[in-house]
């Protein structure tokens, strides 16, 4: 790839760091973008150039097409890589990049539009001969969904029509809970993807989540680069991914590969993509959706094939012929390390990382967007790192992952490391009998301890430390480091666990974390019962229901929808 190219990464965190590293290996310049919440982020430090987009709110920074195109022009970038999330599956973004004279590292706007519309994608899969589950033929609103639900039957899966990643997805088991779930899914779809439309599908019980990694170039070459199993999920969010699928034999793999290649050709798709499906107990698979981007779990495929999928994406984007002959070896497992506390119902925990030590050793990889001292903002997704290991077989990889998890040290914020250790040791995971609904049922019978005392005590004296001052010139970030012996040590930030319960003395209910009030569900003067939900608080891309642990009258309610609250801020008083 010619050194004349320069890639702007329209993303943040670990995926931005991962793309920057490939650019460096290929001799290609890298350009980072950042919001005010990410001025100090690792991806900003690592890139060759960095440009400010705007305030912390994603709608005014990482979702601002105009700001990203402007940064690309200033940087004289030639390609734009969207990563995953944010604008990665917005056809309008791909179109804007192309119209600006830049190359979009991904499929065409037309392909994103077609496959991003889940109903259109289902029709394409049907035409390509890939089985589909019953559902709505087109995106619908809440009123239309209520009418079509009886025809499809329960249990139902409600999904955001123009998004992915498990956002805006809910299972409805009976008509009594239909309207509530439809409204919540539509609200989340609007919040995450800018479109409120939803689709309905029959929910398949006891299913494994499997997916095909495909790569197609502009010369007609389409490759199946292996399957992945992503069945360890909570709230439709993947926690652990692996390849190969422990349930695939050669016959299933052959049929799956043939269907994936057929669908990719049917849609004229170019670049990397992932075709997601569910696998039932008798080995039959059914199309779910196609993600028109790189997946979070692309790493496990790289570990067993030796391919750098980001490098292949860049090569395809500039028009190179890419013919692959994948020969996967062994097995790989990935654990998503999120800033959440499994002992407190996976409560998100933004804050400052005070200690950070990554594991090492043979066949161990860490894709991370943080280091010690970095702040994890509450404005974005809770994933802070990915731990990936490979082994000659699944059991070797499983044991290696346990060893690596034991070596991974993160302090200052809670993490999902304890639940990963627990999952890997369960009989269900070891025997591959787990399904997409297994984890939540299994966790209900456990008593996982909450993570407390996350902030270590401050040392008695602190040596002189440098101050990093960020200066912006024409929107470009320029770091300046100043050493000043008069500067006092920074105070310890409050732990996100200091006020996690929501219920305090004198009936005060306080915010368990930093976030945005999505909806206030009570009124001043209202009588409450214990367990009644006070408000819905969105933090780290998750909706959290804050409930009262006591009964009484609401005597103070100093919050409103759209308000940003800090950890420990007063939400209500129950007398």
CB atoms inside a 10 Å sphere around CB 47: 26
Query: How would you classify the pairing of strands 383-391 and 364-368?
Result: antiparallel
What per-residue confidence (pLDDT) applies to 392?
98
Q: What is the Cα–Cα distance from 328 to 115, expressed in whole angstroms?
A: 28
Q: What is the Cα–Cα distance from 442 to 435, expressed in whole angstroms?
A: 11
Residue 505 DSSP class: G
Burial of residue 575, with CB atoms counted within 10 A of its CB: 0-12 exposed, 13-18 middle, 19 or more buried? exposed
Asked if 63 and 147 sit in the same domain, the reply is: no
Asked if 322 and 227 sit in the same domain, the reply is: yes
Q: What percent of the chain has pLDDT over 90?
A: 65
Residue 568's pLDDT band (boundaries 50, 70, 90)? confident
Q: What is the Cα–Cα distance from 318 to 95, expressed in whole angstroms?
A: 16
Q: Does the pTM of the predicted model rise above 0.85?
A: no
Asked if 405 and 446 sit in the same domain, the reply is: yes
Asked if 224 and 300 sit in the same domain, the reply is: yes
What per-residue confidence (pLDDT) applies to 134?
80
Asked if 342 and 294 sit in the same domain, the reply is: no
**352 is written with which tokens?**
């400052």
The closest of 124, 326, 304 to 223, measured between CA atoms, is: 326
The CATH number given to whatever domain includes residue 167 is: 3.30.1490.20
What per-residue confidence (pLDDT) applies to 565?
87
Is residue 126 in a domain?
A: no
Query: How would you classify the pairing of strands 331-338 and 383-391?
Result: antiparallel
What per-residue confidence (pLDDT) applies to 122?
87
Asked if 251 and 313 sit in the same domain, the reply is: yes
Asked if 319 and 232 sit in the same domain, the reply is: yes
Q: Give backbone dihedrals phi and psi of 37, rounded to 5 degrees, phi first.
A: -70, -20
- Per mean pLDDT, which range of 11-25, 101-115, 263-277, 483-497 is the poorest? 483-497
What per-residue confidence (pLDDT) applies to 195?
87
Query: How would you classify the pairing of strands 340-341 and 383-391?
Result: unpaired
Final residue belonging to a domain, choices 329, 364, 386: 329
Asked if 323 and 356 sit in the same domain, the reply is: no
Tell me the chain's radius of gyration from C-alpha atoms. Answer: 24
- Give the sign of the dihedral formed by CA 17, CA 346, CA 159, CA 193: negative
404 contacts: CB under 8 Å, gap ≥ 6: 359, 361, 364, 387, 389
Is residue 54 in a domain?
A: yes
Residue 478's pLDDT band (boundaries 50, 70, 90)? low
Q: How many domains are contained in the chain? A: 5
> For the segment 63-79, what is each residue's pLDDT rounded down to a tens digit?
999 999 999 999 999 99
**163 is written with which tokens?**
């998004």
CA dihedral 557, 558, 561, 566 (to 10 degrees): -120
What per-residue confidence (pLDDT) applies to 455?
43
Three-state DSSP state, 187: helix
Q: What is the Cα–Cα distance from 330 to 390, expressed in whole angstroms?
A: 7
Helix (H) or strand (E) holding 398: helix 394-407
Asked if 325 and 340 sit in the same domain, the reply is: no
Asked if 163 and 239 sit in the same domain, the reply is: no
- Per mean pLDDT, which range of 84-88, 420-424, 466-470 is the poorest? 466-470
What per-residue confidence (pLDDT) applies to 470?
62
The CATH number given to whatever domain includes residue 317 is: 3.30.470.20
Residues forming beta bridges with residue 335, ordered by sequence position:
240, 387
Helix axes 142-152, 178-193, angle to 10 degrees: 130
Region 340-359: mean pLDDT is 94
Q: What is the Cα–Cα distance from 44 to 37, expressed in whole angstroms?
A: 11
- Per mean pLDDT, which range of 177-181, 196-200, 244-248, 484-488 is the poorest? 484-488
The closest of 120, 157, 164 to 149, measured between CA atoms, is: 157
**307 is written with which tokens?**
């391919």
Residues forming beta bridges with residue 277, ordered by sequence position:
210, 287
Region 41-57: mean pLDDT is 96
Domain of 552, in residue numbers: 505-574
Is residue 471 in a domain?
A: no
Asked if 451 and 345 sit in the same domain, the reply is: yes
Asked if 350 and 448 sit in the same domain, the reply is: yes
Is residue 491 in a domain?
A: no
Is residue 553 in a domain?
A: yes
């Amino acid at each position: 790839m010619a050194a004349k190219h320069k890639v702007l990464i329209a993303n943040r965190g670990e995926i931005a760091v991962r793309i920057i590293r490939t650019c460096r290996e290929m001799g290609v310049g890298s350009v980072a973008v950042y919001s005010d919440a990410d001025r100090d982020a690792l991806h900003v430090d690592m890139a060759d150039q960095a440009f400010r987009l705007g305030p912390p709110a994603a709608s005014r920074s990482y979702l601002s097409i105009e700001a990203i195109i402007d940064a690309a022009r200033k940087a004289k970038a030639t390609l734009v890589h969207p990563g995953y999330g944010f604008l990665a599956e917005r056809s309008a973004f791909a179109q804007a990049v192309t119209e600006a004279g830049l190359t979009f590292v991904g499929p065409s706007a037309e392909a994103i539009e077609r496959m991003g519309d889940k109903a259109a994608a289902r029709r394409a899969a049907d035409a390509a001969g890939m089985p589909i589950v019953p559902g709505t033929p087109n995106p619908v609103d809440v009123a239309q969904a209520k009418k079509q639900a009886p025809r499809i039957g329960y249990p139902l899966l409600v999904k955001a029509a123009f998004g992915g990643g498990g956002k805006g997805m809910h299972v409805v088991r009976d008509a009594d809970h239909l309207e509530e779930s439809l409204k919540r899914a539509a609200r989340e779809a609007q919040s995450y993807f800018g479109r409120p439309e939803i689709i309905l599908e029959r929910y398949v019980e006891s299913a494994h989540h499997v997916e095909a990694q495909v790569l197609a170039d502009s010369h007609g070459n389409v490759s199946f680069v292996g399957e992945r199993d992503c069945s360890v999920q909570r709230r439709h969010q993947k926690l652990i991914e692996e390849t190969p699928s422990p349930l695939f034999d050669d016959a299933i793999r052959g049929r799956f590969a043939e269907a994936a290649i057929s669908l990719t050709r049917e849609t004229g798709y170019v670049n990397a993509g992932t075709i997601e499906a569910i696998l039932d107990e008798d080995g039959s698979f059914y199309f779910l959706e196609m993600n028109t981007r790189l997946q979070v779990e692309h790493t496990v495929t790289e570990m067993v094939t030796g391919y750098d999928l980001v490098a292949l994406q860049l090569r395809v984007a500039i028009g190179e012929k890419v013919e692959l002959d994948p020969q996967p070896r062994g097995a790989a497992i990935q654990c998503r390390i999120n800033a959440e506390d499994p002992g407190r119902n996976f409560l998100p925990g933004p804050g400052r990382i005070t200690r950070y030590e990554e594991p090492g050793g043979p066949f161990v990889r860490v894709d991370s967007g943080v280091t010690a001292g970095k702040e994890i903002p509450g404005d974005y997704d809770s994933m802070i790192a990915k731990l990936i290991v490979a082994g000659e077989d699944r059991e070797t990889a499983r044991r290696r992952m346990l060893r690596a998890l034991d070596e991974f040290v993160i302090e200052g914020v809670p993490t999902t490391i304890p639940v990963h250790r627990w999952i890997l040791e369960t009989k269900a995971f070891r025997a591959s009998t787990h399904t997409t609904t297994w984890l939540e049922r299994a966790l209900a019978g456990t008593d996982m301890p909450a993570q407390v005392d996350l902030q270590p005590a401050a040392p008695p004296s602190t040596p002189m430390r440098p101050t990093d001052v960020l200066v912006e010139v024409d929107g470009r970030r320029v770091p300046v480091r100043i050493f000043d012996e008069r500067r006092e040590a920074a105070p310890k930030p409050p732990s996100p666990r200091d006020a996690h319960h929501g219920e305090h003395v004198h009936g005060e209910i306080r915010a368990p974390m930093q976030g945005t009030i999505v909806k206030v569900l009570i009124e001043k003067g209202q009588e409450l019962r214990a367990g009644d939900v006070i408000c819905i608080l969105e933090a780290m891309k998750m909706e959290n229901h804050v409930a009262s642990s006591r009964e009484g009258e609401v005597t103070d309610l100093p919050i409103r929808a759209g308000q940003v609250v800090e950890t420990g801020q007063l939400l209500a008083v129950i007398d």
